[in-house]
Structure 1
Amino acid sequence: MLNVGVIMFVTHKSIDIVTLAKKVEALGFESLWLPEHPIIPVHMETRFPGTPDGILPEVYKQLVDPFVALGAAAAVTRQLKVATGICLVPERNPLLLAKEVATVDLISGGRFLFGIGAGWLREEAEILGADFPHRWTQTRDAVLAMKELWTKDQASYRGSHVSFPPLWCYPKPVQKPHPPIILGGEAKNVLKRVVEWGDGWMPRGNNLQVEEITAARKELDRLAREAGRDPKSLTITIFRAEPDPAS
């Protein structure tokens, strides 16, 4: 079954999140996705990969916090799934992030989708404490740590980027064992990452052809079977697509 969602760059100048969420649900969409960039450095050398000139669109500087906004969206809807598209995991403290994810899942009654990525803007990532050259290793470490926090009364973890002694962290997510973890990007090893510690893949539709996505689905299924996972439990969400001029 094909489900269609909406992604919106919500800012202080855009439609407000409550009005948006109500409208998206009323129109019958499956989900509402919000991106994040906590900060944008004034001075940066990194080029924006989404435009030919490499200039960052102004809207990226103005984004609201996705978890606060999604909590508000969840409170005024009943069926709409609320999702990060994407959360920049290396830029967040995993202990606080685990609580934010679980809280939105609780408020929504189990309607949260955890879309994640490792980021592309080096200057932003470094200011927020990310190990940019090893950001996917850091992301994996954070996700494994959060799984401990979500599934155990007293959780502890020791990894290369995240470590903490036994502690309590509540609430726990409504969805068991946790909300779906959906990895963004088109990196070479992304499908292996999905099978190892994720629940879905979210490639950008404007970066891939239909044939490439079809081939990736077959490869994802193969890797899942080899790892002893049910291929049907792993989803593919096409994140953004170029508009059809004919429509």
Structure 2
Amino acid sequence: MLISCGLPVSGAWAHPASLGRFARRAEELGYHGLWSFQRLLVGREQHLAPVYRSVLDPIVALGYAAACTERIRLGVSVINLPYVSPAYLAKQAATLDVLSGGRHDLGLGTGWSEPEFRATGSRPDPRGRRVEEYLAVLHALWNDEVAAFEGELYQLPPSTMAPRPVQPGGPPVLLGGLADAALRRAGRISAGWVTSSRTSLDDVTRGVQIVRRAAEEAGRDPDLVRIVVRGNVQAGRRDDAMPLSGDWEQIRGGAQLYAEAGVTELFYDLNWDPLIGGPDADPLAAGERAEEIITALAPAGESPSGEQSVTLG
């Protein structure tokens, strides 16, 4: 199982110096990737977690991280596809892939925030057809000499988009969602499944089975389908409902549970730690806490105590 981490995109630590320093440090420590997430706005009547109150744009933040690093992969979990046309996102994702030298992973979801749907003049339904047509447009623009598509929801006149992505076929597209239909769709037509912050270990275990079964039924190799999990870390305080909580040994033990469930990549997302990603957190203290955590949990190198970190999986 590959070990990655969340990019500083929320709250007090989401500023230029912190983002660049964290991205470079994660690369030095041997993390596989950096992951961002999307939140456009919060409705006045919405009661959302503090992590959602102040969030950088995920693609722009990844572009900044790309300029600060050389090897680490750059993923977004997830862009809500109803908010933006597939042609526009195809251009953004291809550009990020070119500027990063082929390091981009694109996670897509259908969204859940009614204020964001209203603000973008969008709607998610019909979800299945929308996702399938959206991916068809993306892949056409990234791969076809002259791309064209005529669907019920999206149309693409004969067109050429350049430059093309560096990665053959374009950035890998992973799909979010927890409903059975969404899980089967991820296994059937995408590079894999990416989970949300609300996905429990039991949900992950069940989801892995559905995704891989759907891949196999579609004639794909289920072992090649990626399972990417956002892991919310609670360092220093154990909560049995959170596998990645407690001391370093307990958190690494929780990571091993995800590996045993069939997860191919786990990213420690510190944005969900209120002392780091909270809007009212102290920026200096947030940076110091984040540094301590990613150093202690690194897939290679040494923890602050001098103990050798282990490669998980």
Q: TM-score range by the shorter chain?
A: 0.7 to 0.9
Summarize deviations over 1:94-113 as a string: whole Å, max 9, x none.
11100000111111111111
| Alignment match, 2:224 | 233
For the residues of structure 2 that align with 1:9 and 1:58, how far apart are their CA atoms?
14
Counterparts of 1:53-132 in structure 2, within 5 Å, are 55-132=47-124
**TM-score, length basis structure 2:** 0.69
CA pair 6-70 structure 1, distance change in 2 beyond 3 A: same
Tell whether 2:177 aligns with 1:178: no
| Alignment match, 2:41 | 39
State the one-letter code of the partner of 1:130.
S
State the one-letter code of the partner of 2:23.
A
| Alignment match, 2:212 | 221
SS of equivalent residue, structure 1 residue 201: strand
Partners of 2:176 and 2:193 within 8 A in 1 = yes
| Alignment match, 2:26 | 24
CA pair 222-85 structure 1, distance change in 2 beyond 3 A: closer
Tell me how far 1:226 sits from its aligned partner.
Answer: 2.0
Q: RMSD value over aligned CA atoms?
A: 2.1
Partners of 1:122 and 1:132 within 8 A in 2 = no
Tell me how far 1:36 sits from its aligned partner.
Answer: 0.9
Partners of 2:185 and 2:214 within 8 A in 1 = no
For the residues of structure 1 that align with 2:109 and 2:130, how far apart are their CA atoms?
11
- Structure 1, 73-82 or 129-138: larger mean CA deviation: 129-138
Summarize deviations over 1:76-108 as a string: whole Å, max 9, x none.
211100010111111112111000001111111
| Alignment match, 2:139 | 147
SS of equivalent residue, structure 1 residue 132: coil
CA pair 135-42 structure 1, distance change in 2 beyond 3 A: farther
CA pair 63-215 structure 1, distance change in 2 beyond 3 A: closer
Count of residues paired in the alignment = 235
Partners of 1:37 and 1:88 within 8 A in 2 = no
- Structure 1, 78-87 or 125-134: larger mean CA deviation: 125-134
| Alignment match, 2:148 | 156
**TM-score, length basis structure 1:** 0.86
State the one-letter code of the partner of 1:23.
R
Partners of 1:9 and 1:59 within 8 A in 2 = no
- Structure 1, 150-159 or 186-195: larger mean CA deviation: 186-195
Partners of 2:8 and 2:22 within 8 A in 1 = no
Stretches of structure 2 lacking an aligned partner (at least 5 in a row): 233-241, 249-313
For the residues of structure 1 that align with 2:110 and 2:116, how far apart are their CA atoms?
12
Query: Which structure has more RCO (C-alpha within 8 Å, separation ≥ 6)?
Result: 2
CA pair 218-40 structure 1, distance change in 2 beyond 3 A: closer
For the residues of structure 1 that align with 2:59 and 2:82, how far apart are their CA atoms?
16
Question: Which structure has the larger Rg over C-alpha atoms?
Answer: 2
SS of equivalent residue, structure 2 residue 78: strand
Stretches of structure 1 lacking an aligned partner (at least 5 in a row): 45-54
Tell me how far 1:136 sits from its aligned partner.
Answer: 4.5
Partners of 2:174 and 2:194 within 8 A in 1 = yes
State the one-letter code of the partner of 2:213.
R
Summarize deviations over 1:209-240 as a string: whole Å, max 9, x none.
35x53454344333222211121221111122
| Alignment match, 1:50 | none
- Structure 1, 121-130 or 3-12: larger mean CA deviation: 3-12
For the residues of structure 2 that align with 1:64 and 1:209, how far apart are their CA atoms?
28
SS of equivalent residue, structure 1 residue 207: coil
